[in-house]
Copies of this chain bind each other. A is one copy, B any other.
Amino acid sequence: MHVLITGAAGMLGRKIVAQIAAGGIGGQAVTRLGLADVVPAPVPAGFAGTVDALTGNLADAGVAAAWLAGKPDVILHLAAVVSAEAESDFDKGYAVNLDGTRALFDGIRALGYHPRVVMASSIAVFGAPFPEKIGDEFFNAPLTSYGTQKAMADLLLSDYTRKGIFDGVALRLPTLIVRPGKPNKAASGFFSSILREPLVGQEALLPVGDDVRHWFASPRRAAGFFAHAAAMDTARIGPRRALNMPGLSATIGEMIEALRRVAGSDAVACIRRVDDPVTEGIVAGWARDFDPVRARALGFVADASLDEIIRIHIEDDLGGSL
């Protein structure tokens, strides 16, 4: 099987590449990997198949065609300008997240073949106020340009699928925790930070209260969603191709107690509470819980617990032990 991954150098892209290079997709081995991103993506260790190193900006003319030239059977489209940058650079966000996605879709159309396309979407397509649990038929009223672009791309993917141009699925991912690496400036960064830093004895800042609730998945689980969507029977989905992925709804207080169970009270002591009304205000507008009935019926399964999410981070990113 020949798989193209756009955004292959990103955190989730690398997890997916590692997972499918080792485990294949739907029982089939991956024999050729197109690793596409603005910077060179790491080649997975021990992968015996062909690797196409593809660099470029999807928003630039000719890039989509070059990435698609080998007619990959499966395209996992993750390349995107992230939320904060799409908000600060209006043109760049639309150029990459909307026009780049459309260029990819039109590139497939120009080749006249019918691949599976699995696209990363986001719960940012939803904007407050919303119900306590967001259902599969709740509307998209994003409050960011990133969320707008993802909602538009979701619509585009369903229409291109309906017209028979490709066989698409958009996965609206929960917030991923625990993200490996350094703290970043994303407003959501503390959700990973308050678990990641304490696990290695470092201080983490917590800008919100214990009762703040949000919607989470582990990076390993999210990578698995892409492998599942790449192999699933799409006839069961119908025309509504954007799916709210299952996640775990949890409060900050629950995250802290999970950290205590997995890593002890010394770890919890590394969390320092700070006053940050700006972040508090932003987070107040985020989704707290979902009822992803359709995705569950299609075989997507959430992480079992926060404890599991923390252990996945230890296994996948910290070498297996503290």
Q: Which A residues have a C-beta under 8 Å from some C-beta of B?
A: 90, 127, 136-143, 145, 148, 151-152, 155-156, 158-159, 162-163, 239-240
Contact = CB atoms under 8 A, between A and B. Distances in A.
Interface centre among A137, A138, A139, A151 (most CB of B within 10 A): A139
Given A148-B156, A155-B151, A155-B152, A141 B90 contact: no
Contacts of A158: 141-142, 148
Contacts of A141: 158, 239-240
Given A140-B140, A141-B239, A148-B156, 12 more contacts: A127-B239, A137-B139, A139-B139, A141-B240, A142-B155, A142-B159, A143-B162, A143-B239, A145-B159, A145-B163, A151-B155, A152-B155
A148 B155 CA distance: 6
Contact of A163 (B90, B137, B139): B90
A279 to B, nearest CB: 20
A145 B90 CA distance: 26
A107 to B, nearest CB: 14
A140 B143 contact: no
Contacts of A163: 90, 145
Contacts of A90: 163
Contacts of A142: 155, 158-159
A229 B156 CA distance: 28
B140 A138 contact: no
Nearest to A239: B143
B162 A140 contact: no
A152 B155 CA distance: 7
A144 B162 CA distance: 8
A145 B109 CA distance: 15
A137 B138 contact: yes
A159 B148 contact: yes
5 shortest A-B CB distances, which residue pairs? A148-B159, A139-B139, A152-B152, A141-B240, A137-B139
20 contacts: A90-B163, A127-B239, A127-B240, A137-B138, A139-B140, A140-B140, A141-B239, A142-B155, A142-B158, A142-B159, A143-B162, A143-B239, A145-B159, A148-B156, A148-B158, A151-B155, A152-B152, A152-B155, A152-B156, A155-B155
B159 A140 contact: no
Contacts of A127: 239-240
A78 to B, nearest CB: 21
A239 B126 CA distance: 12
A156 B163 CA distance: 23
A97 to B, nearest CB: 12
A245 to B, nearest CB: 16
Contacts of A162: 143
